[in-house]
Amino acid sequence: MQHGKTKAYKEQSFDHLRGLDGISDDQIAEHLKLYGGYIKQVNTLNAELAELMGKGKASGKDPEFAELTRRLGFEYNGMILHEYYFSNLRRAGEAKPPTGSGLGHALVDAFGSVDTWKADFQAMGDMRGIGWVILFQDPCTDRLTNHWITLHQDGVPAGFKPLLVMDVWEHAFMRDYKATEKAKYVEAFFRNIDWQIVERRLQEHAAVRPAAAA
């Protein structure tokens, strides 16, 4: 890994996300535009903070420094979680992880059955508020747990690996569904999951996502 020079993030392409079941191409296109905004914000914030540091203004008492620093977690996770989300979707997905897969076993271990896990995950998706539902693995214990993340950053367990990431901000579904129809979107999400990617995330040591820094 190179050190010394801050690298900019690049927007990833998710061209494979056409023809999903219950999540329209227009919905995805609009969502990808929003995702692009997070990439720009992360790069801009890093550049602005580097400039402040260069000017000797990296001070907790400097309101500009403090505000930009506070926004980092929101913008970074806005970028990162969308990359996990888009890459765990695919056309013609299966309803459940393949029987006998590592993920299937891990879910049974943690929740008793895949159906119990799914019901819990979907129930979280139906919670009021904007945020994310994420199936995480604690890499120290291998234990799987479902978590609710408020906005993009509140509630992320530090160091845990995201395995399955579901966006439940209204911008993720309101082109296709009404505000009161989030449960329909959650059902649609489950018809388009790429379980192979989720399995890879489980098996790989690092929390791999499609990301590029140039």
Residues in touch with Fe ion (CB under 5 A): 167, 169, 172
Choice between 78 and 97, CB closer to Fe ion: 78
Which is closer to Fe ion, CB of 172 or CB of 197?
A: 172
Please state the length of the chain: 214
Which two tokens mark 171? 């911008």
For residue 141, the number of C-alpha atoms closer than 13 Å in the C-beta half-sphere is 8
What is the closest distance, in whole angstroms, from the C-beta atom of residue 14 to Fe ion in the complex? 12
C-beta of 90: minimal distance to Fe ion in Å?
A: 17
Least separation in angstroms between residue 38's CB and Fe ion is 9
Give the residue with the Cβ less far from Fe ion, 111 or 169. 169
Write down the least CB distance from residue 113 to Fe ion, Å.
Answer: 30
The residue of the chain with the least Cβ separation from Fe ion equals: 167
Write the burial class of residue 28 (CB in 10 Å: 0-12 exposed, 13-18 middle, 19+ buried). Answer: buried
- The residues near 121 (Cβ < 8 Å, ≥ 6 apart) are 133, 135, 146, 164, 166
